[in-house]
Chain A
Amino acid sequence: MTSMTMESGHSQRQVLPEVVFLENISKRFGSTQAARNVSLRFKGGEVHAVLGENGAGKSTIGKILGGLVQPDDGRIVLDGKETRLRSVAEARGRGIAMVFQELSLVPDLTVRENIYLGTEIARHPFSLLRRQAEEDRCRRLFEEYNFAFDLNAWTRSLSVANQQLIEVVKALASDPRVLILDEPTAMLGVHENEKLMGIIRSARRQGTAIIFITHHVEEVVEAADRVSLMKDGALVESFLKTDDIDATCIVGKLVGKSRSKGAGKQAPSLGNEALAIRNLPGPQDRCADLTIAAGQVVGLYGVVGSGCERIGQGVVGLADLRPSAMTLAGRPYRPGSPAQAARAGVSYLPSGRAANCVLPSRSTRENLMISQLDQIQTCGIMRKGVERQLTQSLLARYRTRYASYEDPITSLSGGNQQKVMIARCLGRASKLIVLEDPTAGVDIGAKRDIHELVRDRAASGLGILLVSSDLLETIAICDVIYTVIRGQIVRKYEHPTIGDEPSIVADVLGG
């Protein structure tokens, strides 16, 4: 990783011009205070890393600056003048470009068309596209950033990692003065990561202010000139990254005093084997086994695209894990669908709440009961009284706050919706639970609750498989962690602690 370290600019650092000043920015989403009196200065030619756990408010800061979200309070000062950024277009007009966490390229257009989408050289609805001019400018752009790609390749034919890079180049095509990167490395492999660092270096040399939002400490160490740490929506500390600051030091500042003790791991009293997956691809073409005992929380950790989601999905019948074989409580187990998995006593909380969990047009009660119906029906006819009782008891047990469970679930806050989903999933299982990102996008209080509920459920004798993209969470609640890269199990960590973080990170990045 040291090979990729940025050439240190601190020694010849001249006074850099301040481009943006955020003053006392606050933003609330429903019951979540996403940003609380945050003041930050961003300078031209400086890579400014904003680091924090999921839900720390760092993306909110990026979105406010990118014009996607309006702050409730505070000022944005651009070049010494107070400004309001009411839309992404307005922000872009002021020279602020943002690369979003989610891919936003059109797969059916070519690379060149995507780079100029919305900023075509000819702008009237029926004017002809100036292909040649666009191509020339693209070439120059690519040269500038030392980046090689077939301009006329279909975007869909590129890997996700390369699409992500093109997204960055697209943002740079408008010569922005401020470039916001929100978790840009989530989908990148080592090779693409190096390319991204190269692009960032070039942009920095040209005097662009770069805001690098991430929760990967090692990237900060590698790329940043200045580091700001955020937690629970507030700024913890902002400091220059001098050479003596390393990953452990930053992690210490960020998490040292803040370990949530709520989800403390009990001394594991292990029961029988709940799930075993044999012959998973392991290191150096050997095979690895994964076992989960009843009462145990086992985590799979890898970067997005590492294939650990696929293992989780295989356990619930959404992916085919062959040639690996599974046994559930000692019996052979090969589910073909989540319905079959559910019948075998395995329940599933998918990631992506809006896309894969919530039934938006239905009530909280129906959302919760959708996977408990076998308990409340006779011959296919529902028993309403039993249903209401079960709804109430589950909502109470999973500490959900609601006005009426007959209201649409969308009237609940994100954290409470997630608790309903947790209740839906945990309330049903009899042998094993597969959780994907159980606390994505929830506030810190709900997160702590969810961690406790998961531990409690494990203590009641179930096996739990956690697939989370949040390493700190994985370390906090798992008894065992398996690291995954390119679909292969790298290593197994028993009773992981925060001290294992550097080693885990090295595993999943292939370092």
Chain B
Amino acid sequence: MEDRNAETARLRQPWRRRLKRLNFSELIMPGFILVYSSIIALIEPRFLSWGNLDNLAGQIAPLLVMSVGQAFTIISGGLDLSMAAVMSLSGVVGILLVPLVGPWGAICVMAVFGLLVGLVTGYIIAYQKTSPFIVTLGMASVATAIALILAHGVPIYTVPPELTAAIGFGHFLGLPVSFEIAIAMLLLGAFLLRRTVFGRYVYAIGSNKSATLRSGVNVSLYTMLVYGFAGFSTGVASIVLTSWVGAAQPVAEPDMTLKSIAAAVLGGIALNGGSGGMVHVLYGCIVLGALSNSLTLVGVSSFYQILAVGIVIIVAVMLDRVRRREIF
């Protein structure tokens, strides 16, 4: 008993607890980022210049925001293949409504619209007991089609200059505002996962859905909320992306969905759910962002960049396997 009290006293100190849980596999990604950055910096010192890092932060912001939501679906044991399509649609809807609600109203519309679409998707998955894979794939088609119809198939360039100035290219305290929004989303995600009942249930559902159901958790409700939150992060991503690009495209960045899944898994979130956190999302996005940024700087053709990203993702999934080899 004595021992146990001492043990809990020690565990109560957060940094000790954190340190105790750190193990080798947790250090792979930050280690990789450090080593990779050092190598690139040796070849091309501009990589670590403030200007480039500022640029990099802006580049990864939309992906980071989306990956926060994607991480929730993956931790809960599902995934969302409709994110990029819903992002484009909420961008189009928001910008089309600017004349009605004004620029700041428009960004609220985008976030709320994403949330609503996510809740609908979540409702179908959770209450109609369907597979997230198929439902979100269908939802991707539906959202793309509606976006194309609303925008008549062409990008809408009437993005209010306030948004471009404030969010797309604005800086606050020396950092890009878009990146700060992404960090705020990460913090929100971390808070939800670690400190709320919702977060606890997200892990539980991903770890063993049947057990969670049987221990008296309203699994359907929380599954719906997971996709609702993913939709919300899609909406926020559309704010960031639209302001940055200066246009609402009906098909904007279609491969961002898969990149968000790749970022989550690359960072260390288990593809079959139940573990991982926001820090892993950050790692994954930094690796993917740094990879294409640095290869451009070094002068590698974009064809080879795509190749490199693909290889990194495959290696990451194999790493995921190794990390979990005890489970098979």
**A residues whose Cβ falls under 8 Å from a Cβ of B:** 316, 318, 337-339, 341-343, 347-348, 350, 355-362, 366, 369-371, 373, 377, 380-382, 384, 388, 392, 403-404, 406, 424-425, 428
Nearest A residue to B191, CB-CB: A381
Q: When A359-B207, A361-B270, A381-B195 are in contact, do A424 and B200 touch as well, CB less than 8 Å?
A: no
Q: Cβ of B195 and Cβ of A358 under 8 Å apart?
A: no
A-B contact pairs, 14 of them (CB 8 A): A337-B213, A342-B216, A356-B210, A359-B212, A360-B207, A361-B274, A361-B275, A370-B215, A371-B217, A382-B197, A392-B4, A406-B11, A406-B17, A406-B21
Minimum C-beta distance from A116 to chain B (A): 27
Nearest A residue to B221, CB-CB: A339
Q: 3 closest A-B pairs (Cβ-Cβ)?
A: A342-B216, A361-B274, A359-B207
Contacts of A338 in B (CB 8 A): 213-217
Q: Cβ of A360 and Cβ of B218 under 8 Å apart?
A: no
Contacts of A373 in B (CB 8 A): 197, 200
Which of B197, B275, B327: most chain A Cβ within 10 A?
Answer: B197
Contacts of B206 in A (CB 8 A): 361
Q: Cβ of B196 and Cβ of A369 under 8 Å apart?
A: no
Q: Cβ of A388 and Cβ of B8 under 8 Å apart?
A: yes
Complex Cα distance, B214 from A347, in Å, reads 9
Give the number of chain B interface residues (Cβ < 8 Å): 33
Q: Cβ of A359 and Cβ of B208 under 8 Å apart?
A: yes
Complex Cα distance, B211 from A384, in Å, reads 23
Contacts of B270 in A (CB 8 A): 361
Which listed residue (A343, A358, A371, A380) contacts B208, Cβ 8 A? A358
Q: Cβ of B196 and Cβ of A359 under 8 Å apart?
A: no
Q: When A362-B207, A380-B196 are in contact, do A339 and B274 touch as well, CB less than 8 Å?
A: no
B152 part of interface (Cβ distance < 8 Å):
no
Q: Cβ of A359 and Cβ of B204 under 8 Å apart?
A: yes
Q: Cβ of A361 and Cβ of B197 under 8 Å apart?
A: no
Minimum C-beta distance from B268 to chain A (A): 13
Interface of A is mostly: mixed
Complex Cα distance, B197 from A361, in Å, reads 17
Minimum C-beta distance from B326 to chain A (A): 9
Contacts of B129 in A (CB 8 A): none
Complex Cα distance, B207 from A403, in Å, reads 22
B325 part of interface (Cβ distance < 8 Å):
no
Contacts of A316 in B (CB 8 A): 214
B2 part of interface (Cβ distance < 8 Å):
no
Complex Cα distance, B211 from A252, in Å, reads 39
Q: Cβ of B12 and Cβ of A362 under 8 Å apart?
A: no
Complex Cα distance, B8 from A360, in Å, reads 22
B198 part of interface (Cβ distance < 8 Å):
yes
Which of B11, B200, B208, B215: most chain A Cβ within 10 A?
Answer: B215
Q: Cβ of A358 and Cβ of B211 under 8 Å apart?
A: yes
Contacts of A347 in B (CB 8 A): 216
Complex Cα distance, B215 from A342, in Å, reads 8
Q: When A339-B217, A347-B216, A361-B275 are in contact, do A380 and B8 touch as well, CB less than 8 Å?
A: no
Q: Cβ of A362 and Cβ of B216 under 8 Å apart?
A: no
Q: Cβ of A362 and Cβ of B212 under 8 Å apart?
A: no
Complex Cα distance, B135 from A328, in Å, reads 39
Q: Cβ of A382 and Cβ of B195 under 8 Å apart?
A: yes
Which listed residue (B11, B196, B200) contacts A404, Cβ 8 A? B11
- B196-234 residues with Cβ-Cβ distance < 8 A to A are 196-198, 200-201, 203-204, 206-208, 210-219
Q: Cβ of B218 and Cβ of A337 under 8 Å apart?
A: yes
Contacts of A357 in B (CB 8 A): 208, 211, 214-215
Complex Cα distance, B200 from A381, in Å, reads 10
With A359-B203, A361-B203, A361-B270 already in contact, 12 other A-B pairs whose C-beta atoms are closer than 8 Å: A316-B214, A318-B214, A337-B213, A338-B214, A348-B214, A350-B214, A356-B210, A357-B208, A370-B217, A373-B200, A381-B196, A382-B195
Contacts of B196 in A (CB 8 A): 377, 380-382
Q: Cβ of A371 and Cβ of B216 under 8 Å apart?
A: yes
B255 part of interface (Cβ distance < 8 Å):
no
Contacts of A358 in B (CB 8 A): 208, 211
Q: Cβ of A382 and Cβ of B200 under 8 Å apart?
A: yes
Nearest A residue to B14, CB-CB: A384
Nearest B residue to A341, CB-CB: B216
Minimum C-beta distance from B27 to chain A (A): 19
Minimum C-beta distance from B168 to chain A (A): 34
Contacts of A381 in B (CB 8 A): 195-197
Q: Cβ of A359 and Cβ of B217 under 8 Å apart?
A: no
Q: Cβ of A380 and Cβ of B200 under 8 Å apart?
A: no
Complex Cα distance, B208 from A350, in Å, reads 13
Contacts of B327 in A (CB 8 A): 360
Complex Cα distance, B213 from A342, in Å, reads 11
Complex Cα distance, B207 from A337, in Å, reads 20
- Interface digits, B1-37 against A, CB 8 Å rule (1 contact, 0 not)? 0001001100110000100110000000000000000
Contacts of A406 in B (CB 8 A): 11, 17, 20-21
Q: Cβ of B8 and Cβ of A371 under 8 Å apart?
A: no
Complex Cα distance, B214 from A246, in Å, reads 42
- Interface digits, B77-121 against A, CB 8 Å rule (1 contact, 0 not)? 000000000000000000000000000000000000000000000
Minimum C-beta distance from B155 to chain A (A): 40
Contacts of B8 in A (CB 8 A): 388, 392
Complex Cα distance, B200 from A94, in Å, reads 50
Complex Cα distance, B204 from A358, in Å, reads 9
Complex Cα distance, B6 from A404, in Å, reads 11
Q: Cβ of B208 and Cβ of A360 under 8 Å apart?
A: yes
Which listed residue (A318, A350, A355, A370) contacts B200, Cβ 8 A? A370
Complex Cα distance, B201 from A369, in Å, reads 10
Complex Cα distance, B160 from A505, in Å, reads 80
Q: Cβ of A370 and Cβ of B212 under 8 Å apart?
A: yes
Q: When A380-B198, A388-B12 are in contact, do A348 and B208 touch as well, CB less than 8 Å?
A: no
Contacts of A382 in B (CB 8 A): 195-197, 200
Q: Cβ of B195 and Cβ of A362 under 8 Å apart?
A: no
Complex Cα distance, B219 from A61, in Å, reads 40
Minimum C-beta distance from A427 to chain B (A): 11
Q: Cβ of B7 and Cβ of A404 under 8 Å apart?
A: yes
Minimum C-beta distance from A328 to chain B (A): 15
Contacts of B198 in A (CB 8 A): 380
- Interface digits, B235-279 against A, CB 8 Å rule (1 contact, 0 not)? 000000000000000000000000000000000001000110000
Complex Cα distance, B4 from A278, in Å, reads 49
Which listed residue (B4, B11, B204, B210) contacts A366, Cβ 8 A? B204
- B172-206 residues with Cβ-Cβ distance < 8 A to A are 195-198, 200-201, 203-204, 206
Minimum C-beta distance from B88 to chain A (A): 32
Contacts of B275 in A (CB 8 A): 361-362
Complex Cα distance, B327 from A511, in Å, reads 45
Contacts of A366 in B (CB 8 A): 200, 203-204
